[in-house]
Structure 1
């Protein structure tokens, strides 16, 4: 099974895909009636990028769950990959909140 693989690259890929799924879930819960284009334009052009930073912050919870799962099943390299990408996403969110 693909989820039993233990690799840094696989963890980085999962760490990148996890928040994307989280943002999509946020869109479906918070902005059901709007199209993807409308929602993402609003997130980008909103002054202060508050909605975008909230969406990304909540999306990082998906990575926290993935990280915990892979750490508990002793797939340390995969967990490291997820953690590295989560740190990068965290820096982006922090930058948006601070400088956006």
Structure 2
């Protein structure tokens, strides 16, 4: 549910920044260090797109601003264009 860190940051600040950005980074650093599963960065895009559609939905989150919703749709679109997710530059996707 790493997208929740990004979502909370968007709701709180309108952008991806600490402390939520750091939590996102710490999760991924820990996961990749413990598993060595670099392949996940080439297959997680559809999952992030699906979760992005859920959190952008006015049915589930009716009080999101248009700007936040637009950033989530940018994230979805940009994520699906990538062959490999660049975790160090997560702000690029928004």
Fold conserved between structures, TM > 0.5: no
State the structure with bigger RCO (CA 8 A, min sep 6), 1 or 2.
Answer: 1
Q: TM-score, normalised by structure 2?
A: 0.44
Q: TM-score, normalised by structure 1?
A: 0.42
Pick the structure with greater CA Rg.
1
Greater helix proportion: 1
